Structure 1
Amino acid sequence: MSVENSTAARDDQEEPHPTQSLDDTVHQRVRLGILTIAREADRVEFSFLKKQLAVTDGNLSRHLKVLEESKLITVEKGYAGRRPRTWIALTPEGAQALDAELRALRALVLRLETPRPASGPPDT
């Protein structure tokens, strides 16, 4: 059975391909990193994210703006002593979006790890 025929057979029996459930806002590498790190803590400091994700200030700021405008995170500015700080926290919507992204990724991995049925005689 060709890949095309195998895919067509799967499509007749299954839901849409798992990649259709990936959210472009969440799925981007840096933004996914921000959301997952923020999930691990009540709030996370800008410089910690910058170091963990190996990005520049400007690059991180741009990704934070996208996530904040999408209401997936909150950004809080303040001071620790006399030093200005920026903290990021996951919103309930952000937690839901991250959960949906992880479900889609798990479905994709499961699809790839599930053995294909034995192929029959070639199509003619």
Structure 2
Amino acid sequence: MGSMVSQFGNAEFHEKGNFALVALSPKLYSHAAIFSSAYLMLDSAFVIVDGTPDQVVVSLQPKKGKNLKGLVRQFNKYLISHSASAAEAKKTGSIRAELVKRALLTQSKKG
């Protein structure tokens, strides 16, 4: 009888229990990115976020009709998306602030 646990990338698949554990480093992914990604999974999966200061573990168990490996792929896509958006916002934050400042100054001069 083969192993009921398989691993791929950052995920450990438990076939017998139909769930996956996704191990994440808080040094690589912010807590905001992890929790935002977990939140987006709530319609498709039962989600538990747990861990230590050195490692966050997200448990994903598919709701009826959902594919476990597809859920893990989607969760990882969300993580990358949230992390990239945060990095871009940090990089362009001062530009955005300057544009808002100029817009407010322009409006105050009209009135």
TM-score by length of 1: 0.31
Higher helix content, 1 or 2: 1
> Highest relative contact order (Cα 8 Å, sep 6+), 1 or 2?
1
Higher strand content, 1 or 2: 2
TM-score by length of 2: 0.33
